[in-house]
Amino acid sequence: MQKSSITIASKLPGIEQSIFSVMTALATKHNAINLAQGFPDFNCPPRLIELVNKYMLEGKNQYAAMPGILPLREKIAEKANRLYGSNYEPVNEITITAGGTQAIYTAISAVVKEKDEVIIFEPGYDSYLPAILINKGAPKYVQLSPPNYKIDWDQVKKLVNYRTKLIIINTPHNPSGMVFTADDMKQLQKIVAKTDIMVLSDEVYEHIIFDGRKHESVCKYPDLASRAFVVFSFGKTYHTTGWKMGYVLAPKEMTEEFRKVYQYSMFSAMTPLQYAFNNMLDDVEHYMQLPDFYQKKRDIFLEAIKGSRFKPIPCEGTYFQCLDYSGISNENDRKMAEILTKQYGIASIPTSVFYHDKVDHKILRFCFAKGEETLKEAGEKLSKI
Ligand code: PMP
């Protein structure tokens, strides 16, 4: 292609190529074990593939209803009711999306206007900030620090003012593995009470939570739920991150605004997948055993690095284990991740990328959604460092 003469005044000038693509490319080049990007290296339940195939053959290949097929939305309402005691109405309060990220982008675009302030916690999943910026919102940061990454709610309270439009929370939390407690939810509830502040709750790891902890969904707190978009992802629950399907729960008035944006950016999500997930949700056991399934993986990884010089950060949920390498090296975390990939054959994510000002706590994030052998091999490599 001939070089374009067009110059674009970027709408996202400070935003670089995502670290996930960078580290994955480096891992491939150096044939390293890729514990960088968060995805399982094992397959989804075979029945799910059979169901998608069945519905494709049956001709469920045309546009679904804009908010998603109704039986799936009904099934989701039942699930949320059983797990969290909520009463979302399938017709007006549940929307199927093309994954959690698309739901997050849509929710932010639906409500954030120029100069609206949005409180986000750092480190944080990297899709929140660009969505705020492209909508001309003003991000306000609350920093969480290792080893526990606990939220200082007094700091949140100090940031709140008449411009605050939205607070974005994420539990279980990527990248730290921290999980919100009931007390966190009550503190948040107290802060937003008697304000018009909305909440965007990213709960894509709702079923990946350990050591007997219970997921504190916003759906359990009526005063929060009545002002919240709550985002979930089938990608995490069914080991299908590449299918990009999720959903958002929100009160009718908020869903109406959400759908105004959704219908002109996506219109509807993939039809045969929706029918398949509708059947899969009948198997409650699948998601009820996920905490156990992933906790075993976390523990295999922790056991495999026990003799190493890395110091594990407490992982209460998600499929990420953060490791502190300050006892090994003074290199910054980007450089350290590069060295581990090139010289030791193991790829991770430097956690500084999850802070807008790239705070370097000398902590790397490793994804343990991998087979047992891979985790043990990774542990061996890390133990040599
Ligand atoms: N939120 C968080 C915290 C995530 O880690 C991810 C996936 N990396 C998502 C949302 C996006 O989910 P999806 O793949 O369904 O878009």
Give the pLDDT of residue 300.
98
Cis peptide leading into residue 123 (ω within 30°) = yes
Q: Tell me the CA–centroid distance for residue 5 and ligand 1, in Å.
A: 36
Q: Tell me the CA–centroid distance for residue 82 and ligand 1, in Å.
A: 23
C-alpha–C-alpha distance, residues 129 and 140, integer Å: 10
Given a cut of 90, whether residue 17 has pLDDT beyond it is: no
> Among 48, 99, 91, which Cα is nearest to 66's?
91
User: What does the block give as tokens for 282?
Assistant: 């009948």
DSSP state string for 184-240: HHHHHHHHHTTS--EEEEE-TTTT-B-TT-----GGG-HHHHTTEEEEEEHHHHTT-
Given a cut of 90, whether residue 136 has pLDDT beyond it is: yes
- Tell me the average pLDDT across 55-76: 98
**In this structure, is the dihedral angle defined by the CA atoms of residues 352, 137, 232 and 51, taken in order, positive or negative?**
negative
Q: What's the whole-number average pLDDT of the chain?
A: 97
Given a cut of 90, whether residue 198 has pLDDT beyond it is: yes
C-alpha–C-alpha distance, residues 2 and 108, integer Å: 36
Q: Which residues line ligand 1 (CB under 6 A)?
A: 38, 99-101, 125, 170, 174, 202, 204, 233, 235, 241, 244, 246
From the alpha carbon of 235, which atom of ligand 1 is closest? 15
Q: Are the C-beta atoms of residues 42 and 355 closer than 8 Å to each other?
A: no
| Confidence at 37, pLDDT banded by 50, 70, 90 | confident
Give every CB contact of residue 341 below 8 A, 6+ residues apart in sequence: 23, 26, 27, 30, 32, 347, 348
What confidence tens digit (pLDDT) does each residue in 269-282 have?
999 999 999 999 99
Give the pLDDT of residue 384.
92
Q: For the chain, list the domains and their CATH numbers.
A: 19-44+288-383 (3.90.1150.10), 62-283 (3.40.640.10)
End-to-end CA distance of the chain: 46
Please state, for a pLDDT cut of 90, what percent of the chain lies above it.
97
C-alpha–C-alpha distance, residues 68 and 87, integer Å: 18
What confidence tens digit (pLDDT) does each residue in 160-169 have?
999 999 999 9
65: left (phi over 0), alpha (psi -120 to 50) or beta: beta
State how far Cα 384 lies from the chain centre: 31
**Residue among 174, 206, 240 to mutate when testing ligand 1 (max atoms within 8 A of CB):** 174
| Confidence at 342, pLDDT banded by 50, 70, 90 | very high
> Among 229, 293, 288, 219, which Cα is nearest to 261's?
229
- Tell me the average pLDDT across 83-93: 98
> Among 228, 220, 217, which Cα is nearest to 192's?
228
SS3 83: helix
| Confidence at 20, pLDDT banded by 50, 70, 90 | confident
From the alpha carbon of 233, which atom of ligand 1 is closest? 15
User: What does the block give as tokens for 309?
Assistant: 């010089």
Q: Are the C-beta atoms of residues 321 and 307 closer than 8 Å to each other?
A: no
0.85 exceeded by pTM: yes
**In this structure, is the dihedral angle defined by the CA atoms of residues 33, 326, 21 and 108, taken in order, positive or negative?**
positive
DSSP state string for 33-65: EE-SS---SSPPPHHHHHHHHHHHHTT--SPPP
- Phi, psi (rounded to 5 degrees) for 122: -125, 140
Cis peptide leading into residue 251 (ω within 30°) = no
| Confidence at 147, pLDDT banded by 50, 70, 90 | very high
Q: Are the C-beta atoms of residues 360 and 348 closer than 8 Å to each other?
A: no
Q: Tell me the CA–centroid distance for residue 134 and ligand 1, in Å.
A: 19
Q: Tell me the CA–centroid distance for residue 99 and ligand 1, in Å.
A: 7
Tracing tokens 């990454």 back to the chain, one arrives at: 149
User: What does the block give as tokens for 41?
Assistant: 């290296």
Q: Which amino acid appears at position 318 of this protein?
A: T
C-alpha–C-alpha distance, residues 378 and 382, integer Å: 6
Q: Tell me the CA–centroid distance for residue 126 and ligand 1, in Å.
A: 9
